[in-house]
Amino acid sequence: MSPVKTTKARKTVKKTRPAAKAKPVKARAAKTKAKAAKTASAKPRVLVKEKIAQSGIDLLKKEFSVDVRLDMDQAQLKKEIKKYNAIIIRSSTRMTKEIIEAGDALKVIGRAGIGVDNVDVKAATKKGVIVANAPQSNIVAAAEHTIGLLLAQSRNIPQAHGSLKAGKWERSSFGGVELADKVLGVIGFGRIGVLVAQRAKGLKMKILAFDPYVSAARFEELGVEGVDNIDDLYKTADFITVHLPKSPETLGFVDEAAFRKMKKGVRVINCARGGIIKEEALVKALKSGKVAGAAIDVFEKEPPAGNPLLDFDSVVVTPHLGASTIEAQDRAGTIIAEQVAAALNNQFVSNAVNIAPVSPEEMNVVRPFLPLVENLGRLIVELADGPLEKFDITYQGVLADYNTKLLTVAFFKGAFEGRVEDTVNYVNAEGIAEERGIGVTETKSRKAVDFTNLITVTSEDKRGKLTVGGTTIGPKHRPRFVKIYRHDIDIEPGQYMAFFRYDDVPGMIGRVGSMLGDHNINIANMNVGRKKREGKAVMSVTLDKPIPAEVLKAIKAQPGFDDITFITFT
């Protein structure tokens, strides 16, 4: 997704993407409808490729066809993936570009754990496949394992255990160091880094943390000393633990230059991802005595057969056990099953890694508006007379203080869903708009007359300016349409809705009601918007069932009716 240029003018922010050669949004081929109907009629299939908790499998089986195939190798996977709409993996399966491209029906890849370095996220994004993980499933397990390794290598616990098991009694050979009053340097202060720091404080350690994406206020709130320059951490810390994600920027993050800056006798722990600490550099630092000990749970190559780190008595190792607790596995299975179900049900996938990132605080604010904005996208395209090439989306009220990028993506999802041959989701909706030259301008203002928050979408069709708008009300954020065509209204969206534009003269409402009643179609709710100076009105109704095409045609044929649009909202 391309970045949006931002300019500020007092209390208003505008973000603009100019339109290229536009392809009509409203163009909808018959074959697209037929394809969508055929897909909808089939029960989505999920492949569970690696072991997850039974609770997760049971959750999926309530709605989908689930195959558990733990024996499938990469070659078989490439051959079989075309049958499935979703796949759940752990760390062993590699979702390569070739396998992803072979997944003709694939909508979501679920990774039961945190890291997604075994998934070609770029290839998945290009294909419109959601990649979701379970980032909070194993954070407690990983943090506790880090503390366990910290204690194990500081007191030589595994070495002493092995010696005693071998029938030896070598108390003098396994003297260790205390953790109290020592400095623990935490590189990466995300969820796991925070939990490690909190537990280490319980051991009376002093905590230094480096993370350029954490504010000074946050460090202060957690009682941790944050450093702006990582060199300050290297030269001060007695123990160093890394908690960074694996990426091109973090591979080899702790290298030879870093070890040269550390205190002599430092001890290091890596319970994050293999390769963040450069193993060759660590081996040299151990040989030189610069590093007194290390504890490693993850390796550049796994299993680490022949790895020289295994030859050091001062190095404690475990076989990638950071997430290996019963509780973590249960959480990972359940969380990823929920994420996959959301993707297959065309709902927002909160843990998707290839969707514009939104902080938890921002997500709490924007989440209630996602269904509303999707419906506004669908509504404006359905109401339009002819193709729409550019949209202006205005966010007013409290929303103006937050990142609304995801809401704009949701708008495009609603606008394109069922109208293009591609599967449309939060991953590719904006890309589809860009490919078709559809421009969008985002405007923000803290002032919202009559509403706490108001979202308005404006475009132009053959008849001129076209506007739709909506808000939410109450603690449960019940959605409301408050602008239709060019009129103010107030109606709660329903599954079946019809919008009538007509001459503002007596008897029009009764005529519609009578004709619908003659066909046993009940009106559940109704609202009228009027513009007396123009002599026009709009009527919005929610219905108990759809209006047949012949009934719509008959109503429109009545004198004074300009337009009628019937929409089914999912």
Which residues are known catalytic residues?
273, 302, 320
CA distances 238 to 77, 177, 183, 552, Å, are 46, 11, 5, 77
> Among 109, 65, 71, which Cα is nearest to 90's?
109
Strands 487-491 and 478-484: antiparallel
Contacts of 414 (CB under 8 A, 6+ apart): 373, 374, 375, 376, 377, 378, 379
- Kindly report the length of the chain: 570
482 close to 489: Cβ distance less than 8 angstroms: yes
- Judge whether 63 and 340 are in contact, CB under 8 Å: no
Q: Which two tokens stand for residue 217?
A: 């206020």
Residue with tokens 């019937």: 566
Please state, in angstroms and rounded to a whole number, the distance separating the CA atoms of residues 194 and 196: 5
Q: Which residues pair with 225 in a beta bridge?
A: 208
Element (H, E) at 66: strand 65-68
Cα separation, 347 vs 339, in Å, equals 9
Q: HEC string of 406-451? A: HHHHHHHHHHHCCCCCCCCCCCCHHHHHHHCCCEEEEEEECCCCCC
Q: Find, among 136, 131, 127, 119, the residue nearest to 246 by Cα.
A: 119
CA dist 402 and 197 (Å) reads 30
